[in-house]
Chains A and B, each alone.
Chain A
């Protein structure tokens, strides 16, 4: 069964927390409870999601463009919605503090971006191997030198290999829903992995959008650390002597095999998250008109720009379909093969210089010469829909009708 609660969690449904919020069955909270429209920035949306997430510990550190959200969670702590809140001393330390709190059985939240993500990096595969279902919000920004604070999704490329669940939100609405749903998926005993919910910095964090919020008087049931596939480090269960010879020291087959199989297992856990994720966020991908000869495959705000481009092309009589990739890990390989099977040309617009999504798509589908990796913008440049239109027109050998922002 997907997205089950433990007995302890079930027993709390309908009861109130100390702020008077009612622990609510996630199914009801997400799919049945009334929604209230609000006009909020992405940062405010993060705060509203965490207000409802029964988070025990948040560790914060300033870096644009997530500083505001991280500070807003501090307000929630001051109001009593988050049990513990601290500023760490660097992202490396923050992720260690998050690990400690998660090892100790807390539901943990943090946010980072760009250089912060890179500074934190050693922790991410460690979280995976330790099966810590920490949620980190990554509000992507440039990681290049000279220093940049502008939107750029290059850092996500590195996250893809960590073993974490990685989702890429397009809108503030995705963000609100996925932060809450992310905990439910990540904490399933057969998953129990950290999750990075990413968005394109500024475009999502600093713009206002209408978001349908769940009622503030309802919240998620708390984390139950005894559903973890590995013991919670709280001395509430008997300690075991793990092994006579620590594997790190052994150069033998058993040792190699142990490490290899644990890596396989954590990757397997990521794959197993599919059955929980699909009903939660409506599939790992979302598609429109995939019978069209031309497709745009995108994630994050490139999806929104793709939609706009599709509208412009429609005016010219060019029909283009869309694949919105919501989950990057697990990777929706089968879904993308299926969705692209009719396409002759597949465009992958991205906000980074290397085109990691295009690389992934190319590695997934047959006849991958169909993939046109682009357009790419980077370093904070925006991607007007006209740039995508132009790329498509050029590739089709058509007359280019839009010269976005070029002057004359």
Chain B
């Protein structure tokens, strides 16, 4: 879709809500090199959120939506959980259907879009919680990777089932006491990034969302690699401040603490050789364009 399609019929202009008018006039659909720095200077593709005040998922959403390379041709797939409360505020087409089937839905969607729009970019991005990705939906998460489905899977890892009130999840730390883990979780945090690598993902990153420029980089890489090469996986720490007993202001520090060397969310990246080559070519092209712009 081009930005021209997002227009308001002149007869209805005056009755459209101001935020929709802003979306039409100020959003960054179709903008080359869009990124987190557009936040504050343009209309974001997320209007509001109904998460807890200070929930890091809300920052993650804003950075991700600012960083999608082609939001005008991106369809997102969500799942049930705290994230599903945000999607109704998101100004790219997005699908919620059931809890845990997100990678199955995305597989069908991506194939349908490839049939209907051959030769055109139509990115598919999955965004779901860790319960959805690793527990109830693990089969479909992995199978999509085995099949080399060309879309990005993003897991908001808050290490528990937040939306149902803080129960044990597969990505929870061993020993953590939670609902349904009354004497502490008895097994280790599932190592999904490594499993993703072994399952055929071309690009895997495990990190927190404390740094918007890092989120921008990994989102862009993940979406572009998925478009050209194969499945990509991002596991982003978005701590559930409510369930771990933090205040609204403490989410950022929690992320900073857990990304230190030796901690659970120290930066981990895996890139296949072909994806590396693709990224190098992309960088060279971008440099060329930038140089040409300066000369021009």
Contact = CB atoms under 8 A, between A and B. Distances in A.
Interface of A: 56-57, 59, 83-84, 86, 88-90, 92-94, 96-106, 108, 122-123, 126, 130, 231, 233-246, 248-249
Q: Mostly helix, strand, loop or mixed at chain B's interface?
A: helix
Contact of A97 (B7, B74, B105, B114): B105
- Nearest 5 CB-CB pairs, A to B? A100-B108, A96-B104, A104-B112, A96-B101, A101-B108
Contact of B114 (A84, A235, A240): A84
B75 interface: yes
Given A84-B111, A234-B122, A235-B122, A100 B116 contact: no
Contacts of B115: 56-57, 83-84, 106
A94 B1 CA distance: 28
Given A234-B117, A235-B93, A243-B88, A102 B112 contact: yes
Contacts of A94: 104
B85 interface: yes
B50 A59 contact: no
B5 A59 contact: no
Contacts of B93: 231, 233-235, 239
A235 B113 CA distance: 10
Contacts of A101: 108-109, 111-112
Contacts of A99: 97, 101, 104-105, 108
Contacts of B58: none
A249 B140 contact: no
B101 A93 contact: yes
B84 interface: yes
A84 B108 CA distance: 10
A100 B104 contact: yes
Contacts of B73: 235
B122 A97 contact: no
B92 A97 contact: no
Nearest to A85: B111
Given A96-B101, A96-B140, A100-B107, 17 more contacts: A83-B115, A88-B104, A89-B139, A89-B143, A94-B104, A102-B112, A105-B113, A106-B112, A106-B115, A108-B112, A233-B109, A234-B122, A235-B1, A235-B75, A238-B5, A241-B90, A244-B47
A122 B122 CA distance: 28
Given A100-B77, A123-B98, A234-B122, A241 B109 contact: no
Contacts of A56: 112, 115-116
